[in-house]
Amino acid sequence: MTTGTAPVRQLDPHSVAELTQAAQEILDEFGSSATSSALLERVSETAARLSEPIRHHCRPVDTDDGVFVLRGLPLDDIEIGPTPLSWATSGDSGAVWDVTLLLLATVMGNPIAWEGQQDGRFVHNIVPSPGHEQQQTGASSTVLLSPHTEDAFHSGRAHLLMLGCMRNHDRIATTAASIRRVRLDGSDIEVLSRPALPILPDDAYTEAQGFAGRPPNVPTVWESEGGLTLRFDPAYTPLDDASPELRAAYGRLGDELARVSVAVSLEPGDILVVDNDLVVHGRVPFQARYDGTDRWLKRASVRVPGRRTRPAAEADEHGYGQAAIQAYA
């Protein structure tokens, strides 16, 4: 893994003023909650009127890195209040940022939420939580968060993942690795293209983990428009059930992703946009203090209407009983 920077798209002052004013006006009209259907309708109407420079900054990921950082939005470390101890106690902390992320997500596509995660919110709070230090979820801290495709267990997973940085005093790095940067031989690609193993729901989806249906086997990599695409979550893939050939190929893929991985330390106000079909992301370990100053991210997930990067067989998956909720029909 190398320490580096993702490609940066710098917002101009006019775009910053336009976005922050729009978000604050919506919040002033609908109160402190960024979850109501009326607010979402207003977000959609406002996003449709945003200027061309903002739309240009929100254009699709256009390099094989599969990521970019949207930079320039202001953030006051005191005004946002202390880092919550968990998503469940975060309430409406940083609500103007929820609206800002929703506006940008709506320009990029269709924001989605999950019935079984963070009470169906469209913007999640990602903070270290006491008792979750060793889990493979965003609430962990002392353990390496393994590189993974977001919500890899589900066919309705996001095409794009947005991570807005609220606080990062310790410059804790988010890791990112693109399948388009790895070197794999044809035989490994062929093996990894076979739907031989399932990807199980992660610990953020307790209801899905109890689903009675048989887990569907899925491919790890496949060819799509522009090159290789992947669906990868080793922490929740039963590799002990794999053939020696598949385990070896999977291991080589993991080694290659580690080789090309970059560590990006987000600054407050940065928004990291990840192409969830090309890039696995994770986080380096850190020691949480639980004193209100820990790392705090906002997360939004986006589906892009009409995008064709997934195998047709995904349409038949049961999704472990979980339903993705789209902000707009």
Model pLDDT for residues 184-193, shown as the tens digit of each residue: 999 999 999 9
Q: Which helix or strand (DSSP H or E) is residue 65 part of? A: none
CB count in 10 Å sphere of residue 120: 12
Give the domain CATH number at 15. Answer: 3.60.130.10
Query: If pLDDT is split at 50, 70 and 90, which confidence band does 203 have?
Result: confident
The number of domains in the chain is 1
pLDDT (0 to 100) of residue 81: 95
Strands 123-126 and 296-303: antiparallel
Is pLDDT of 329 > 80?
no
Task: State the chain's mean pLDDT as an integer.
Answer: 94
**2-3 vs 262-265, strand pairing mode:** parallel
Running DSSP on this structure, what letter comes out for residue 117? S
Cα separation, 251 vs 142, whole angstroms:
24
pLDDT of residue 34: 61
What is the pLDDT at residue 168? 98
pLDDT digits (tens, 9 = 90+) for 272-325: 999 999 999 999 999 999 999 999 999 999 999 999 889 999 999 999 999 999
Residue of 306, 270, 283 whose CA lies nearest to 104:
270
**CA 173, CA 266: separation in Å to the nearest integer?**
7
Comparing 226 with 9, which gets the higher pLDDT? 9
Q: How many CB atoms are closer than 10 A to CB 106?
A: 24
Residue pair 297/128 in contact by the 8 Å Cβ criterion: no
- Rounded CA gap, 246 and 253, in Å? 10
Averaged over 61-86, what is the pLDDT? 95
Number of alpha helices (DSSP H) and beta strands (DSSP E) in the chain:
7, 15
pLDDT tens-digit map of 259-277:
999 999 999 999 999 999 9
Other CB atoms within 10 A of residue 305 CB: 9
**Using one digit for the tens of pLDDT, what is the confidence trace for 121-166?**
999 999 999 998 999 889 899 998 999 999 999 999 999 999 999 9
Amino acid 33: pLDDT: 62
Strand 8-10 to 67-71 pairing:
parallel
pLDDT of residue 1 exceeding 60: no
Characterize 138-149 residue by residue with b for buried, 16 or more Cβ atoms within 10 angstroms of its Cβ, and e for exposed.
Answer: bbbbebebbbbb
Q: Among residues of the chain, what percentage have pLDDT more than 70?
A: 97
Per DSSP (E only), the strands in 191-265 are: 221-224, 227-230, 262-265
Which one, of 65, 18, 23, 6, lies nearest residue 298 by Cα? 23
Domain that holds residue 162: 2-326
